[in-house]
Amino acid sequence: MSYPTLFSVPGMKDFAEKVDEERARQLKKWGDQIHPDIDPRDIAFVTHHHYEYKTQIMKGVNDERETPSRTVSRCSRCPAEGDHKHTAWDFILLEEVYEALTEAASGDLDKLETELIQTAAVVAAWIYDIRRRKGLV
């Protein structure tokens, strides 16, 4: 069966195709997987607060990284001289992951789905950025 591809964001078609290929490999290897959102042995209230706490840490780091810093000369790990931010993919992704895990522990499936979609969008953006740096787009 063939489906039309209607993507408006650069890189999304390639991302969706690669995710589809990986899902096909996963299905072939493990079959259709059915798992709980969190370990049923966990105490949801405790797990929820743990993930919520981790989310706040990630948000705090991302807020700090968004604050422009000033360097007189370009250091080896900074992309530019002068005022610049230190936002990085690592904690952007982790913030989204912990937000999703917080919702998994809350049991709100609509909010969990929303957070997982946001996580996937961050993954797509990161992959697109990598491909841009490699000169592929």
Higher pLDDT, 17 or 6: 17
Residue 74 confidence (pLDDT):
59
Q: Is 5 part of a structural domain of the chain? A: no
* pLDDT beyond 80 at 5: no
Q: Is 21 part of a structural domain of the chain? A: no
Q: Is 20 part of a structural domain of the chain? A: no
Distances (CA, A) of 46 to 38, 39, 53, 99, 116: 12, 12, 11, 15, 21
What range does the domain containing 94 cover? 43-133
How many domains, in total, are found in the chain? 1
pLDDT digits (tens, 9 = 90+) for 78-128: 666 667 777 889 999 999 999 999 999 999 999 999 999 999 999 999 999
Distances (CA, A) of 78 to 22, 59, 72, 113, 124: 34, 21, 11, 35, 23
* The residue type at 112: L
Q: Is 114 part of a structural domain of the chain? A: yes
pLDDT digits (tens, 9 = 90+) for 35-83: 888 888 888 888 999 999 999 999 999 998 888 876 655 566 666 666 7
- Is the Cβ–Cβ distance between 58 and 122 less than 8 Å? no
Q: What are phi and psi of 67, to 5 degrees?
A: -75, 120
Residues 104, 25: Cα–Cα separation, whole Å:
26
Residue 73 confidence (pLDDT):
59
Q: Is 48 part of a structural domain of the chain? A: yes
Q: Is 16 part of a structural domain of the chain? A: no
Q: Is 63 part of a structural domain of the chain? A: yes
Residue 114 confidence (pLDDT):
95
- Is the Cβ–Cβ distance between 121 and 113 less than 8 Å? no
Q: Is 99 part of a structural domain of the chain? A: yes
pLDDT band at 31 (very low <50, low <70, confident <90, very high): very high
